[in-house]
Chains A and B, each alone.
Chain A
Amino acid sequence: MRRNWWKVLCTVLIFYTLIGGLLFEVPHKKILNETIRNIYFHVPMWFGMMVLFTTSIVYSIRYLRKPDLVLDIHAAAYARTGMIFGILGLVTGAMWANYTWGKAWSNDIKQIGAAMALLIYGAYFVLRNSITDIDKRAKVGAVYNIFAYAMLFPALWIVPRLVESLHPGGAGNPGADPRDMDARMRFIFWLGAVPGFILLGLWMTNLIIRYRKIEDKNLLHG
């Protein structure tokens, strides 16, 4: 229980987000209306993705400093759940855009950025699978992971600030627009949705890592 308190916390937060996000009162904005609830589910995906990809990088750097296959398993697992979050973020965003912008894909700079991130991490897994030697796979994978992250994240953080975007809160700030959320929404968003989904991502990764460790038992200890 002492080690697993965060799983309980995660479950509570997710249920709080689901119930609060779908049932509680929200401000009625033009065009947005009830679709504003999507902010509880769409935006935390990006927070989760950033956290997971960043954690993956940390493990890749640690692998290069001290080659240990467990670290490589961690790096790949975090990248994998990061991708799941990215895909979900893209899908929830496209569904929402279908109702508010009129079409699912409108070449918005942030849609391009998200698609780019998914392609890059897709390439990461293709690269890993193309190498059969385990140690070499871990090393080359780590190098590509770090390089791709270093190329991708400045682009994700800087470019949206330079060009116009359809996203709410555009005009210089690619994040959530604080004016669109009232106090109660902000409470659910920052205290429920964001930490809840990040913890869920960590939990999922944790399961993948444990599974991989059992699968590769012979490699890790033999």
Chain B
Amino acid sequence: MRQEAIIRHILTLLKKDILLEFRQQYTFYGVLLYIASTIFVLYLALQQPDSTVWNGLFWMIQLFICVNAVAKSFLQETRGRMLYFYSISGAQQFIIAKLLYNTFIMLIMSVISLALFRALLGNPLLHFWQFTGIVCLGSVSLSLVFTMLAAIAAKAQQQASLMAIMGFPIIIPQLLLLMRISKAGMGEIFQAGALSDLVWLLCGLDVLVMVMAVILFPFLWRD
């Protein structure tokens, strides 16, 4: 029974975030426009870069998209509304709902940016579906880390700039791993087992981030 109640709480909070997104569509379209315009500028600057540059740019753009898409998730919650959530649900349900929601948004944004990259900046990918899988894994990793950082930054009042300062060093290991395994999608041959090792390591880091978020968020929440 209790478990059901927790899952119901999470689903309700998730539904509320998605509903809000539908009602205030400007943020969603704002991020979409951000993606489109950045990639268009890149196209104007570089046209069809070679695969190493393509790969590096792609992940850097993912990073910036993630900061933009996730930063608002705690910004939009006013103090009064946080108090309201505090009274109707637990901190853990709240952060899990946020993690799920941001992962969902980031997945959509990543797939859109991949399509735009492929359309505008050329296609160095030999194994398109493998690369798409890596992109999905990457967007999950990025969104989880930045959700937790947004929660921390929200407490320090200086959202976006602080998020970049805190987030970029922390995300380096994951980003390096992602850039590394992306090369598999571009036809690089890995040693037997090396690729799956790296993928498992990334999955492990994702689980670690989720566990840390669930453990640490209740401390941030109490005020």
Contact = CB atoms under 8 A, between A and B. Distances in A.
A120 B170 CA distance: 6
B6 to A, nearest CB: 22
B84 interface: no
Given A127-B152, A140-B152, A147-B212, A158 B170 contact: no
A131 B155 contact: yes
A contact patch SS:
helix
B166 A123 contact: yes
Contacts of B173: 116, 151-152, 154-155, 159
B198 A162 contact: yes
Interface residues of B, number: 32
Contact of A116 (B148, B172, B180): B172
Nearest to B170: A151
Interface residues of A, number: 29
6 contacts: A122-B169, A139-B155, A146-B216, A151-B205, A154-B204, A159-B176
Given A126-B162, A151-B145, 20 more contacts: A112-B172, A116-B169, A116-B172, A123-B165, A123-B170, A127-B165, A127-B166, A131-B157, A140-B155, A140-B156, A142-B219, A143-B216, A147-B149, A148-B166, A148-B170, A150-B212, A151-B205, A151-B208, A154-B208, A159-B177
Interface of B: 145, 148-149, 152, 155-158, 162, 165-166, 168-170, 172-173, 176-177, 180, 194, 197-198, 201, 204-205, 208-209, 212, 216, 219-220, 223
